[in-house]
Structure 1
């Protein structure tokens, strides 16, 4: 197969496979488990942001300071985007200061989908760059991306359920977001030098969305349960989410090595 065919195949199959595996894990969870498993989603988001995305954003940027500026700008952008969603909700249904029925009217889900789309686009760029170099490198790069995406995608799916999306809609939107991998791969193949210059910004936006949703939207909800048992459960699940990213990292490193 030609490099272009490999890029299309691996970008499409890789993005879809990671979503299906992760969604299968989250899909098996009973509805009453979702609020509890949000702690795991928080850990997976923070682990992916600080251990995977941010280091790459700093490495790809002109300087660490520029990467930090990009992340700060991204956090501000997602704050404004969330405000717009809130304003629309207030206009359409009346404004309420608290979540109802355990949901946040889709705010967290929307923000995480936007950030995940940026991240998936960058994954496509990386796959294309690897296949341009050599086919074996492209294959292992695609496999590495699948390995490190699965914990994050599982967290994303749980957040969509927590935001009030049905399981069917959560799966559909996650699959649509994964198509950004294919878009990134195709654009990078035909204009690699131009697309690569945007990678630091996209990585920073992806990291900003993960950090913002975890810290601003999800963690405050955990404080509603203050009893010791619930707190210990939350800490353990957050640690499990981080650990899943940590354990996926060496798999990716070995594949790329």
Structure 2
């Protein structure tokens, strides 16, 4: 009975939060793309700095080891980004065959191709794999958390599942914004983030059978997930917002960024109150 409750709770929290985020996020994304990028950046940074990292540092794990994990995570996601960009560039290079013999025309074609390739890389920003990897790690940790709550008390498990579901919605909106850019379609983005969300159930199963052994590793999972969200926000989203804008447009950007931080902060405080 407890195992069934854990599976129901983890699937509701892990996948339900993604679909709820999609229902809210895609409707707004269609109308406010740039504003959603600001909201996503704020939500991802707030999730990392105000929720995951404090939880990790409240554990018995050493600060030096956790910071080393954070640094290692940032370097890892940077290398993952490089591999993704190289793959896109390599793929793009092989799809374009130079078939013009005239030197001047070839030069013009090469210049146009270089410009188009630059636009291609800019439009299909990297960061998708980093978000999915971070989401999966985060979801696994959530599953262990939900399992431990159900094993303690059934009502606590239900409250924790609802708290995780509510808490995940703002940052999943951010994930879907990033994946919508890298995947090209809403359905592909939704499928990828939903699959990452199902890892919550895996975490729940592992937590149910091996909870005692994973207690010491949970802080490192939290820090690794944090590093992915920080990397995506600072390396992928924020640079897209660094444009020369009017005062009014800049104020709107800052307001949406702060809104992303405020929403996660509010939901996080309510979730902790629920605990």
Q: Distance in 1 between matches of 2:119 and 2:20?
A: 30
- For the 8 Å contact 1:49–1:210, the answer to whether it is kept is yes
Residue equivalent to 2:258 = 239
How many angstroms does 1:68 deviate by?
1.0
2:214 to 177, 187, 195: 195
Q: Give RMSD over aligned pairs.
A: 1.8
| 2:123 maps to which of 92, 95, 103 | 103
Per-residue CA deviation, residues 215-252 of structure 1 (Å, 9 max, x unaligned), is 01111111124332221111000000001011102220
Aligned to 1:167: 186
Post-superposition Cα deviations, 1:141-180, rounded to whole Å, max 9, x if no partner, equal 1111112111111111111123343111111111101101
Structure 1 CA distance for aligned equivalents of residues 161 and 244 of structure 2: 40
Report the alpha carbon displacement of residue 32 of structure 1 after superposing the two structures with TM.
Answer: 5.2
Deviates most, 182-191 or 197-206? 197-206
CA contact (8 A) 1:103 1:164 kept: no
Aligned counterparts of 1:198 and 1:104: Cα–Cα separation in 2:
34
Sort the Cα spacing of 1:4 and 1:144 in 2 relative to 1 into closer, same or farther, 3 A. Answer: same
Q: Which residue of 1 aligns with 2:50?
A: 51
Q: 1:201-240, aligned counterparts within 5 Å?
A: 201-240=220-259
> Could you say if the C-alpha distance between residues 33 and 101 of structure 1 is closer, same or farther in structure 2, counting changes exceeding 3 Å?
farther
Q: Distance in 2 between matches of 1:179 and 1:109?
A: 17
- What residue number does 1:145 align with? 164
For 1:177, the equivalent position in structure 2 comes to: 196
Counterpart contact for 1:34–1:162, Cα < 8 Å: no
CA contact (8 A) 1:17 1:146 kept: yes
Asked if the contact 2:139/2:196 (under 8 Å) is kept, the reply is: yes
| Gaps in structure 1 of 5+ consecutive residues | none
Distance 1:254 1:196 in 2: 22
Matched residue, 2:23: 24
Larger mean CA deviation between 138-147 and 73-82 belongs to 138-147
**Aligned equivalents of 2:63, 2:265: Cα separation in 1:** 23
Greater Rg over alpha carbons, structure: 2
Please tell me whether the aligned partners of residues 66 and 223 of structure 2 are also in contact (alpha carbons under 8 angstroms).
yes
Structure 1 contact 147–251 (Cα < 8 Å) conserved: no
- Report the Cα distance in structure 1 between the residues aligned to 2:267 and 2:179, rounded to whole angstroms: 22
Query: Hey, what's the Cα distance between the residues in 2 that align with 1:114 and 1:16?
Result: 16
Residue in structure 2 matched with residue 157 of structure 1 by the alignment? 176
